[in-house]
Structure formats: structure tokens, C-alpha cells
Structure 1
Amino acid sequence: MTYPTEDDFRRLLDALTLCVLLHDASTKAIVWANRAACIALGFSVEELLPLKARDMTRPVPKYAREIAVAAMDRSITEGPQGYEWCYRSRTGQDMLSEAIATYVPLKERAVVMVQFRDISAEEAMRQALRRHETRLREFMQDLSEGVAVLTRDGTVDFISDSGRRVLGLAAEQAPGSVFDYCSERNRERLAEQLDDAPLQGPSEPQRYRMTRRDGSACWLRITCRRLVIEDDLDGLLIHFRDISDEVSIEEARRTEARMLEYAGRYNAMGEMATAIAHELSQPLAAVRNFIEGAIRRLEQAGPVEDAIWGLRSADRQAEHAALIIKSVREYIVKREPTETRSDLREILGEVAYFIELRASDAGVRVHIVQPKAALPVMCERVLIGQVVLNLAFNAIDALADVDADRRDLTLACEEKDGRALVSVMDNGPGVPADAHGRLFDGFSSSKAGGNGIGLSLCKNIVTRHHGAIWAQPAPGGGLECCFALPLIPAS
């Protein structure tokens, strides 16, 4: 075998930008260095030749001469050997390097060629990344929000320590699939959210009732987005937070609101008690008269047909009284909240009976204006009826000081700007101009002695139905209270 000469080999290495030192294969002493190595270390070739490892490396055990010599020896028998080495320049600057020792037999002698490149910047970056990773892990330890990376089929590929706590996972317990934690109904909804995950920014948050690995239930708010990082990752990034306390508070508030609404209906019926009693007194008195007449005819052996006519008339009056009582009971009975598709005109028609009872007793004329076309809304009928009642009763009370022949109340509904609009208008004294904006905020009332709780309740109900409520001066004087609900498309 013909080996290259040392001069030829040196000329070849001198043209490289990679740093190269040639060591004698037997003694491991430096016998030559290329131009790149001389520049990097700050020594000429002649200055490098007498130097030993202690003269050009950091004095720590991991850079002891024996370690480098062992790598060079292995390169002779096992092939090229890579190792980390710290070279020290003439100015005393350390240069962390990736070194590769390769055995090269030349014509004049055998050498070990050590190629090295400066990896100080790379190592500093690696250390910085390790520090950032450590800090990030420390920060995420205390997060109440979980972070997870999912594959496209929902398998959890990565989950933060905080996420493990949220899902009740032990330290080494495999998280499995995200769908393992939710019911079948929620699973379908979660799958839709993940399928629609955007590439830019998080999705709209959605909440789900989940079951932790320990069997306990919780509510999670979840957002997600697509992750596409070249060919390395194609999945989903999700953030999830335990909102069980928030849901409990919301449910407590809903319960409180339902109780307030229930009390409001009773309060409204209490205000109407006199009018209802008057309304019932007429059919009950008629029932008594018809029965007494029938009894007298039977006692006097009069015509049976007369007695039968009297009893049937009594029956009709009793049925009328029963209908009044049924209407009252159906209105005030406690019900679970149920939103249904309803025609707002029908709701206004249902409560008009009670409004007219109260208005009749107060000497107020009621005018009802209804459109021909339906006004379909999604609502709890009883609660929206309560809003109309509260506004109407408030208006009737405001007319108490108006001359009897001028007491007018107008109830109207119509479609306006894509919404179903209800207005309750009176021609009473009205309220000061600066009070319109705060009339429904609570503890503000348009009538003397009022506390505004009924109006605040109206705002609470309308807002829950995604509507708006406001007050404004009536065109002819007085006050006009309006509320609008979103219309739903006709089926």
C-alpha cells in the first residue's frame, strides 16, 4: 500500500477551514497544525510544537491529558473517536470544542489527526435552553392551568405537571386519550372543537364536565389550536383550567335568581289580590243566587226545568271562577326554568288578563297593540311574562295621581331591527331625565315609596335572555319602558 507523504497531507489540510492538529501516533506530541488551528489558538506552528496538554487546555479533571491520549489510542484500533475538549488560546481564552481523532498512516510516519471546531456558542445556547426549560417547568408547577399536546386522534403526547394535577394523574401514570375523561355526549362536542382548531390563536373556550382518573367530577374550560412544526409535529395544543368553583358559584346564582323570580311572582300576585278577589266575588255571588233560586223552586214544587236552568247557570259561574283560580295558580306555581320557542304576542296576551284586572281596579284604560305577524323568541315564558307584568304594574301605580279620565296604559309589541320589541307606555308624571339610564339598576323606582327591586329583576331576566331593556320619555309625556329580545328564524 502506498501512503501519502506528510508534505502532501499538510498541504491538503492547510486548505481547510476546519482546525486540525497532527499528533505523533506513538508519543502523541504535536508535530504540525494547519493555518485554521494556528489562527484559532493564537500560536504559530513552531510555538505549538513544544506545548503539552497542560499548556493549552483548562486544568480540570475532564480535560486531563490521559483522556485525550486514550481517545487517540482507540482511534488506532477502533477507528475515528469523537470527544469534547477545551482548548485554551494564547490569550487565555477557553474554546470548548468538538474533537475527532483519526489515525492516519503516512509515508514518513503514522499520525493521529485531531479535527476540532469551536462549539462554545452552541454549548452556551444549550445551557441557556436547559435553564429556560428548568425555569419553565418550575413556573408550570404552580399553574392552575394544564397544558397538553395531542396527536390528531386525541392521544395525549405531552402533559404538564399542572395538567396532571387537574386530571388527577399520578406521577408515572399514562394520560391516555383526552376523550377518556368525558361522557359520550361531551366526547362528540369535544371532538368537534378539536377538529375545528384554528392554526392561529386559540379556539373559543368551551366547558365540559369531566371525570378525573380518581373518579371525582370536575368542570374544565378548554381552548385549543393546531400545531404544525415542519415534519416534527402535527397535532393539537390544548389549555385546560378547572372551573368547578366558577360553575358552582354560577349555579348558586341561578338558584338565587330563580328564588327571586319566584318571590317576584308572588309579590305581583299579592299586589293583585284585591282585584282578583273582586273578580271572583262576582261569579261566586252568582253561583249562590242561582243555587238559592233552584232550591226555592224545588221547595215550592215549581217547574223542574226552572231549577235545572238555575243549577246549570250556577255551574257555568263556578267554572268561570275555577278558570280564574287556575290562571292564578298556573302563573305563580314554581317551575324549573325551561326555554321554549314562543310567540311574544301570546305571552303578552297571557299576562294581559292580570294587567287588566289590576288596571280596572285602579281606573286605568289598557290599550294593547299587537302585530299580525308572529314574533318568535327563545325564552322562559313565565319570566318574560313577569317582566311585562312588573313594567305594567309600575306604570299603573305611576298613574295614581293622574286625573281619572286621563289614565291610559299602552302595551305594544313589534319587530324592529331584527328584534322583538315590547313597550309599556303610560301618560303619568314620568321620571327626571337623568334617572332613565339608572332606572333598572336597583334601588331606583319611578313611583313614590318604591325600591326598584322589581325593575332590577326585569333587567336580570332580560339580560339572561340576551336582550336589552331601557326607559325613555313617552311621546305624549309620561314614561315608556321597553325591552327587546333576539328574534329566531321562523321554522
Structure 2
Amino acid sequence: MPGEYEKQLEDLLQVLRSTLAAEVERIASVGSFAFDPVTKVSAWSGELRRIVGVPETEQPGLEALLRRVHPDDREMLLQLSSRPGTVGEKLHFHQRLLREDGEVRHLDVIGETIKLAQHPNPLFVGTVRDITEPTRAETLIAEHERRLGEMRSEVLFLARQSAMATMAATLAHEINQPLTAIANYAAVLERLPFEPAREADLKAAVAGVGTSALRAGTIMRRMRALMERGEVVREKCDMDDLIRKAATHLTLLRDPGVTLDLHCGRCAWIDPVQIEQVLANLVRNGLEAGDLSGTRAVTVTTACSGPKILVSVEDRGPGIPEDALRDFFESRASAKPMGMGIGLSICKTIIEAHRGSIWAENIENGARISFSLPVA
């Protein structure tokens, strides 16, 4: 009975092969098929039935697939199924199914036209893989990337808007001093009688208007360069001389409450216009702090500390609240009726652009704000 035993063994092996093949298809979610374009007869594996959703009670084939294919893919499927294939021709395409519950499934189809000796017509055989989950993941990733791109664009837009707003506020804040000087000179011109004896005063007032207007333009150009590109137009300046000269055109430094105590005599590579603006801001704040305590007094001192020039502005105001010292130079809402809350932030930006540092501290009967700059 050896022949019968071998036959049973071969049948058992065939069942095992079919079972293993079906299990492999199930695990990989890949079905297989054979299709005769002439007779329209199809043969499907069990996994392909599951993927497409064709029950055992329904005949698999082109008609079953057409009933389930996505309406937008129906024409493509009809064209592919009606064309006679050339032996050896390979096809790779995507197909969508539309389930009764509205779910869309995505299939990846790979096939080739072959010719079997025992079959009269060429056959299109291949595999179908369900790629719905990977496709959904890719769509989700693409959507997230699109939204991230939109968010990046929005952040960049807001950053540009913020930068423009900051620059506008900075320029408005910094040209306030020369514009105030212009207004003061204009007021003097209005009050002065037009007499030959007052000609010198008139000329001085007119010159003051012109100088202040030019200064306003210089401030705008240099502050814009600093805010946009971080550029500083440097020249070698004696710090003590700079402050003395600034007192000739900055009315704040000529206030009766301001005392200059200059003992440095060293030079630094700086933008004199910007450093003058820092001094103007600090002195203005000091005088206003003194007004609050009833002692309008500010002392500007210079000194040398190793490789650095130290400039300090002391006032006799109520001092700085301890909880405000940590972020004292950050932009904030101003407590002043006409303030913008950015003066100290501008000072910090300017000093750091000069490779210096600025800090604030409370002293007896007031506060001191100091900044240091490298010696030239």
C-alpha cells in the first residue's frame, strides 16, 4: 500500500500548503487573484474575499468588485478589465472601495499578465494589499504638516507684525526728546518779539529747531538699523566728553536737579546718538522718580573699572520694588499717563548691542541704574 500512503501524504501536504498560504495572506493582509479578461472569470483567495467584503455566499469576480468600488474609480476598473493584456506586462495601481457604512478602503494592486499552457487565454494574476491604515496615517501626517506650515506662516507673520510694532513704538519713544526740543524752540520763537536786539536769540532758536530735527532723523535711522539688523554705527568717543556735549542739546541734562560727576577720561567704541538716548531715558526716569518722593535730584557719574567704563545714574526716588528688579528691563505696561513701557527695554537692547551690560539696584534714599561698556 505504499502508493496509497504516498497519495495521502501528498494530499496532506497540499492541505498544509494551502493553510499556510492562507495564514500568510491573512497576517500580511494580502489577497491574491487570477482574472481572464476574455471570459471575465475570476478566482479569488479567501483573504481577498475578506479584504473586498465578499461573503462565501456571493460569487467573487468583476461584478462583485464593481458593486463595491468607489464611484470615482469605477471607470478606471472597467477600462483595465476590458483591455487584452500582453504577456509579461506588469501593472501597479491603487483602488478604492466604498463600504455600505460609508468607509473608504484603500487597496494596492500589483499584477502581471501570464500565459499558462493549459489555459487558452492570457491571465492577469496578482496580489491585493489593504493599505487603508498606512494611507490614513500618511493623510494625517500630511494634514498635520499642512497645519504646521500654516501655523509657522502665522507665527512668522505675527513675529513680523510684532517686530514692526516694536520698531514703531521704539522710534516713537526715542524721537520724543528731539521733537519736544523742537516744540520748545518753536514756543520760544512765538514769544520772542521780532526786534533787531533779539536777533541772536532768534537765530539760536531757529538753529535749535534745525539741530533737533536732524537729530530726530539720525535717531530714526540708527534705531531702525539696530532693531532690524542689530547694527551699531561705532566711533571712538571719550565718555566724559560725550556726556558734557550731550548736556548742550539734551535739555534733560541741563535740568537744575541733574549733577554730572565725571571722572573716567577713557574712550569706548560706541554709537554716540544711541548712548545719549540711554542717558536721556535713565535721567528722565530718575527725575520722575524724584518727583514722586519730592526730591528731584539725579547724579550721573562715570568711572573706570578695569577694562570697562562704568556709567551710573542715581536718583532720590522711592526706589524699585524688589519683585520688579528681576525683570526690570523688560517691556511692560507703563504706569506713566503718556508712557509706553519700553524705555528701559530700549536701553537694554542698545547697551547689549554695544557688548555691554546694564543693571539696577536700590541704594539708600533712592535707586541706581548702571551700565558698563568695553574700553576702546
Q: Which has the higher relative contact order, 1 or 2, with Cα contacts under 8 A spaced 6 or more apart? A: 2
Q: Which category of TM-score, normalised to the shorter sequence, fits these structures?
A: 0.3 to 0.5
> TM-score, length-normalised on structure 2?
0.48
Using structure 1 for the length normalisation, give the TM-score: 0.37
